Structure 1
């Protein structure tokens, strides 16, 4: 028999994911992995295709095909790196698409939270931070967990719980300064 709370969490997680992904993918006209790749590149320009694929959950060959589509849409480009390496960067259109995607992703999330009062929102924020810290222990990769995050809003005046969990796991422990 499954726990009711776990079932409720599963249903809420799936609904929130569906709403957030629908907004993000529709805003840029890309797949879920394409949306993740664009947001990842906004925070880590110059990644190689293999690393980009790892962060969005794709094999190197699948990442290369996804990148072909992003290039064809004018959202990303491959640049020569050192040796045989290739660096992936957003185009100006890709940078604009990331802004539109994060706005479109955030709107249904804000709407979902609109029914909560300030105390409930604070309580939920604390519980989600604790849950994300625990999930980091399972997943072990902040880049993967935060591939569609609006990192600015998560660290504005606060410490990202996923980033902190990763620093703790790597032995750094000290929180990064909050963004100004």
Structure 2
């Protein structure tokens, strides 16, 4: 029985991912990693290229190429930081693109959830929170997991399950260090 459930989950997650990626890449005319970088920069402006790459799952050299593309499109710019660090910031056009990206991301997700009634959506929210907390234990990187999240809607009136798992993991690490 778990094999069928796992297969259904896999097919659902892949179909939803395909819908979301098609919408977001079309809305700002950027790659999936470029879209994620724009959303990340909206929440954490001024990241260095290497850290930005880590948060979107790219190597430093791939991140540098991605930032080149975002800069060429007028969506981001580089600014000198301390030492050799170069900070990446959104341009006004990049900030507008983030709004389009998050709207484009939300549209197919809202459409998919329309197949469920209110009680089913509430149950699904609780189950997804549990799955995300478990996924955090395996992945261990909230920034990477939430790279395309609309953080405001996730935390408005609720606790983000990934953020909560991250805080608990950090507290546990600090507790182990005190021993």
**What interval of TM-score do these two structures reach, taking the shorter chain for normalisation?**
over 0.9
Q: Counterparts of 2:64 and 2:115 in 1: how far apart (Å)?
A: 42
Q: Provide the aligned length of Structure 1 versus Structure 2.
A: 172
Q: Counterparts of 2:133 and 2:2 in 1: how far apart (Å)?
A: 23
Q: Counterparts of 2:58 and 2:21 in 1: how far apart (Å)?
A: 17
Corresponding residue for residue 115 of structure 2: 115
Q: Structure 2: where are the runs of 5+ without partners? A: 173-179
1:68-91 CA deviation, whole Å, 9 max, x = no partner?
A: 000000000000001111100000
Q: Any idea what SS the aligned residue of 1:170 has?
A: helix
What TM-score, normalized by structure 1, do the two folds share?
0.94
Corresponding residue for residue 42 of structure 2: 42
Q: Counterparts of 1:122 and 1:58 in 2: how far apart (Å)?
A: 34
Corresponding residue for residue 103 of structure 1: 103
Q: Counterparts of 2:49 and 2:117 in 1: how far apart (Å)?
A: 43
2:150 is equivalent to residue 135 of structure 1? no
Q: Any idea what SS the aligned residue of 2:148 has?
A: coil
What TM-score, normalized by structure 2, do the two folds share?
0.94
CA RMSD of aligned residues (A): 1.2
After TM superposition, where is structure 1 displaced by more than 6 Å over at least 4 residues in a row? none
Corresponding residue for residue 159 of structure 1: 159
Q: Counterparts of 1:168 and 1:22 in 2: how far apart (Å)?
A: 34
1:61-111 CA deviation, whole Å, 9 max, x = no partner?
A: 000001100000000000000111110000000000000010001000000
1:1-43 CA deviation, whole Å, 9 max, x = no partner?
A: 9700000000000011111111111000000000000000000
